[in-house]
């Protein structure tokens, strides 16, 4: 870096190019050496703008910005450590899901409205993932019994976990505003809504490298199903496969993509 410039003050275009160079340099260095630590720290400082950008997704929360910055920085460091320069994707594309994942984990672990045992917090998360997975496979909401079977727990534990999820928020959105608040109607009517377009962009950015890593046939099936809107039977006819085989391949591919989007536990 020329002239001892502060990494945070580098222009975006120059920062992107320098990030590519330093990531390749980092991959060639021995972990634990002084030069490795210097390059890694420089990469973190240079890309903190990515974390600040990600914080915009959580502006509706009252969590201190510094706490979010710290959580996002953890995700940034993980992304730097895991990034493979030979992947053929931009570092920002690779890093954003990990940064957002760390921020979501921060909310998961710290924003319970009432005290809930850690066991039930973890069960709530497992239930949420199981509900998404089974809803896709069954094409309907799963029953309590199906959730219990999928997670290998008792029905009572599922009920307890679903009840515990109510401890994640407090208060009623049907209540009026605070005294002196001139806003009309219930609080729920005056809260900002999630920007679906932003969420869609985030999902597409996160999915791009995952889809690129799929086998060619799996990518073709995804394209036929979701781009050309063909049925599983029509896909089977085109590819010379049975409808059941297409269904299994599609379910396996979607499950792989879902798992790739889920942040890894520390």
* pLDDT confidence band for 212 (50 / 70 / 90): confident
Angle at 70 between CA 64 and CA 71, to 5 degrees: 95
Domain 12-111 has CATH 1.20.120.1810: yes
Identify the DSSP state of 188.
G
Compute the average pLDDT of residues 46-69: 77
Tell me, which fold does domain 114-167 have in CATH?
A: Arc Repressor Mutant, subunit A (1.10.10)
pLDDT at 60: 53
Q: Tens digit of pLDDT for each residue in 86-115?
A: 877 888 888 888 888 888 877 766 654 445
pLDDT at 190: 39
Distance of alpha carbon 190 from alpha carbon 192, whole angstroms:
7
Q: Tens digit of pLDDT for each residue in 174-200?
A: 444 444 444 444 434 434 444 444 455
For residues 168 and 122, is the Cβ–Cβ distance under 8 A?
A: no
Flag whether pLDDT at 164 surpasses 80.
no
Domain 200-260 has CATH 1.20.140.160: yes
Flag whether pLDDT at 136 surpasses 50.
yes
Domain boundaries, the chain: 12-111, 114-167, 200-260
Distance of alpha carbon 20 from alpha carbon 125, whole angstroms:
35
Question: What's the sign of the alpha-carbon dihedral 79, 84, 85, 91?
Answer: negative
């Amino acid at each position: 870096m020329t002239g001892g410039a502060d990494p945070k003050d580098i222009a975006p275009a120059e920062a992107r190019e320098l990030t590519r160079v330093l990531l390749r340099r980092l991959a060639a260095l021995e972990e634990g050496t002084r030069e490795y630590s210097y390059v890694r720290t420089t990469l973190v400082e240079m890309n903190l703008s990515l974390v600040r950008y990600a914080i915009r997704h959580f502006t509706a929360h009252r969590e201190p910005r510094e706490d979010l910055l710290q959580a996002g920085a953890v995700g940034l460091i993980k992304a730097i450590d895991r990034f493979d320069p030979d992947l053929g994707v931009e570092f920002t594309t690779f890093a954003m899901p990990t940064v957002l994942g760390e921020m979501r984990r921060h909310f998961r672990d710290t924003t319970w409205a009432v005290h809930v045992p850690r066991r039930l917090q973890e069960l709530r998360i497992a239930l949420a993932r199981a509900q998404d997975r089974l809803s896709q496979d069954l094409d309907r909401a799963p029953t309590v019994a199906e959730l219990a079977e999928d997670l290998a727990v008792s029905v009572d534990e599922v009920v307890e976990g679903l009840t515990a999820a109510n401890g994640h928020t407090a208060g009623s959105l049907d209540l009026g505003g605070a005294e002196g608040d001139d806003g009309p109607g219930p609080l729920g009517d005056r809260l900002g809504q999630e920007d679906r377009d932003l969420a869609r962009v985030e999902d597409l950015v996160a999915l791009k490298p995952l889809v690129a890593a799929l086998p060619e046939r799996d990518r073709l099936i995804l394209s036929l199903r979701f781009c050309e809107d063909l049925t599983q039977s029509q896909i089977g006819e085109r590819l010379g496969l049975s409808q059941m085989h297409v269904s299994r391949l599609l379910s396996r591919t979607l499950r792989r993509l879902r798992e790739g989007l889920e942040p890894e536990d520390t």
